[in-house]
Amino acid sequence: MNGFSGKCFGLQRRENGFGMKTYSKVGACLIVFSVVLIFIFQDTALDSITRFATTSFSDTGSEDSCLSRNQSVLYRKSSPHKPSSYLVSKLRSYEELHKRCGPHTDSYKRSMKQLKSGQIDHNSTDCRYVIWVADCGLGNRMLSITSAFLYALLTNRVLLIDQEYEMVGLFCEPFPATSWILPDDFPFKKKLRGFNQKYSYSYGNLLKNNTINYSTQLLPSYLYLYLCHDGDHDDQLFFCDQDQALLNKVPWLIMKSNVYFLPSMFLMSSFDQELDKLFPDKETVFHHLGRYLFHPSDRVWELITKYYHDHLAKAEKRIGIQIRIFDAKTSPFESVMEQILACTKKEKLLPEVGTGKSVASPSKNQTSKVVLVTSLSRDYFEKLNKMYGEHPMKTGEVVAVYQPSHEREQQTWENSHNVQAWVEIYLLSLSDELVTSAWSTFGYVAQGLRGMRPLILYKIDRTIPDPPCGRGVSMEPCYHAPPIFDCKAQSTTVDIGGLVPHVRHCEDISWGLKLVNST
């Protein structure tokens, strides 16, 4: 996979442009208005899936309110993508399961006893779990959490998140009257982050060493799954039906992942019928599940709404441009800037600049466009801001350019930077038009939450691609590192991007996989 920079890829972290202050300018009238609107927009995908009463989670250490859950309808356009009634029903059933089996319940305590003893009592095991362990940046995390959640839905497991410091306070609790946060008293919780591919209880290593096989009767009470981008053949046997039959007998699965491995589940015959009922529209999987799971916490929501009202609210059209550079040598600033301008001109997103040096005062009939730039670098913002700030547009339109923050390098393990990243992902998802960078999970999350096929800036390799950008064939994220073998054929020569009509190779990564609508 030439071109990836470092162990992880696809997310930008930025210097906090808000100063991390708490704002309280969202008035009481806005809150009341949002309650009224929640009934007006109840047929949208967002509301039909996520609407339930705000619940206090004080016992779990989570925030006791979630303003964004109801107020998001004031900022997002209604989604044209409707969830299946089966998906809504499945989510309601899952909420009941999580409430019954979640942290500190009697069922959870019984399961904990089995975990500690190492003995599986199949007669009394009424709850099973998958624990998600973090790796890489926020975009990668949100995609892998969504994948883990779909796996939990398909296998009737309860999803618990190993929340480290850098993720504290980012999201509201997604499930009512319970928590998805792994309790601090979980055995070997402090060791989970250190679990890696070489861990002795990794499923791949147990298979490799023949410690476990498909006929093993006495199974351990837990297994560790390594599903990161550099997993090997044995790790990726997780995606085979025969292996799922074995894993189904293990009550506790600990999963470490940094990729959107979800598309590979659509290649498994054991999940095929259920997935068809859940998602008849294949390119809306992350759109529905992402909107269901990820609601900004109150502190993040205040930052989002403050920036939106200060800079974006009055525009007639909002254009998000997300720029992620993986290799500055092969993608120099001048070439990327030229590519961005060529793309926006080709797609007629932004007006051409006139030759005059003075900008006329805007009149009432002029169109207002706002460009929101997100990037580690400030150079792209400064170039666009100077271009549209110092010259009149040929069309007479008024264009304003903003960038919430910038920093030179990614800082994955800092809580403040994850807050900032989540703010900017959400702001991008409010765009009317979205331009994203190839390979970027940051952009994937924004486009999925928005429910839009983005314009993708194709990766530059010293020369500007022709065309410079293209419309995505799907709004689904790309699985960057899928298995290269077919479980049924036990062969690596099969093109896994051609096994089923709704799983294809990605536009931005030729070996990646993404979901598409076969029609």
Total Cβ atoms within 10 A of residue 256: 24
Strands 503-505 and 469-471: unpaired
Q: Contact, 125 vs 251, CB < 8 A? A: yes
| DSSP result, 399-468 | EEEE-S---SS--TT-HHHHHHHHHHHHHHTT-SEEEEETT-HHHHHHHHHHT-PPEEEPPPSSS--SSS
Statement: residue 429 has pLDDT above 70: yes
DSSP state of 132: E
| φ and ψ at residue 398, rounded to 5 degrees | -110, 125
Average pLDDT, the chain: 86
pTM: 0.88
Q: What is the pLDDT of residues 68-106, one digit of tens each?
A: 999 999 999 889 999 999 999 999 999 999 999 999 999
Segments of the chain assigned to CATH 3.40.50.11350: 298-515
> So what CATH class is 298-515?
alpha beta
Per residue in 375-389, is it b (16+ CB within 10 Å) or e — as a string? bbbbebbebbbeebe
Residue 164: what are its φ and ψ, rounded to 5°? -90, 175
Q: Please tell me the distance from the alpha carbon of residue 325 to that of residue 25, in angstroms, as a whole number.
A: 35
- Find the mean pLDDT for residues 27-36: 40
- 452-370-428 Cα angle (round to 5): 35
Q: Give residue-wise pLDDT tens across range 114-154.
A: 898 887 776 666 899 999 999 899 999 999 999 999 999 99
Q: How many CB atoms lie within 10 A of CB 224?
A: 24
- pLDDT tens-digit map of 277-294: 999 999 999 999 999 999
